[in-house]
Amino acid sequence: MIHLLLSIFFSTGIFVIFKYFGIYKVDILKAILVNYIVAFIVGFALAERSFSILEVPNQLWFYGAIILGALFISIFFVMAKTAQINGVAVTSVAGKMSVVIPIFFGVFLYNESVTFLKILGIFIALVAVYLASVKEEKSTHKNAGLLFPVLLFLGSGIIDTTLKFVEVNYVEKEDVSVFSGSLFGFAAFFGLVILLIKSIKKREPFGMNNIIAGIILGVPNYYSIIFLIKALQTEGFESSTLFTINNVGIVIVSTLVGILVFKEQFSFKNKIGVGLAIVGIVIVALA
């Protein structure tokens, strides 16, 4: 249980840090690149066993790490933009209600049951994501305000599903840190490629504030994944139940942070969406 609580804590921290990215005008891509380099280094430094980076291509989880690395850099960018445009609470709702996706695939991959309550919970979750993401006030980000939460919802669900599949089938308990470090390393590689392409069009200094922001983000990002994987490996915990508790915990804590720390304002639709998110996720858990 302690691993699950720590995953909730560090995941919420990521949303808060992204909010400050907007406040301090941090370049998202550059900070995310540094963040993944930091997470990569930490992963190999804290490996549970002696391990050489040259062994990575021979591991069964190698291609899974590549796929997850590409997904991570893409969805992290979407997550950062969502936090800046929609706020911390809406970002957590859109990202964490994606739990319905791994639950859906769990029916086919792990022969989990299909019940009326589970279907009802998934439907409520989809409605909640829409309501929590809608901005009623006029804004230059009116269309993007809905686009980014939807992309975050889909992408986060795919990441959770892929992470669970690779962890169950290919990752040994003593390889959790190395596997996590490797996927962060691939994410850094893809981020570097994107940054180099952008640099061809427009060259600009990297910026010390982007480096500092990336370092600050890298540690909680690494531990959010580490503790989630360790929680998934805990005996007696079904993945659907664990993802549900993890995600609703992040939604609730992030919402409280958004209201208390950042004084975020919610429309009536947003409040209904957040409420439905909690209801939907609880129904899925009961199912």
pLDDT tens sequence across 53-84: 888 899 999 999 999 999 988 887 888 788 77
Predicted confidence (pLDDT) per residue in 239-265, tens digit: 777 877 787 778 778 777 877 888 877
Q: Which two tokens stand for residue 237?
A: 């915990």
Query: What's the average model confidence in pLDDT over 122-129?
Result: 78
Please name the helix (run of DSSP H) or strand (run of DSSP E) that holds residue 81, with its range, or none. helix 62-86
Q: What percent of the chain has pLDDT over 70?
A: 92
What are the distances in angstroms from CA 144 to CA 45, 140, 151? 39, 9, 10
pLDDT of residue 9: 92
What number of residues does the chain have? 287
Predicted confidence (pLDDT) per residue in 136-178, tens digit: 554 444 444 678 888 998 998 999 899 989 988 898 888 899 9
| One-letter-per-residue 3-state SS of 32-73 | HHHHHHHHHHHHHHCCCCCCCHHHHHHCCCHHHHHHHHHHHH
pLDDT of residue 141: 47
What are the distances in angstroms from CA 149 to CA 83, 134, 143, 145? 9, 9, 11, 7
pTM of the model: 0.80
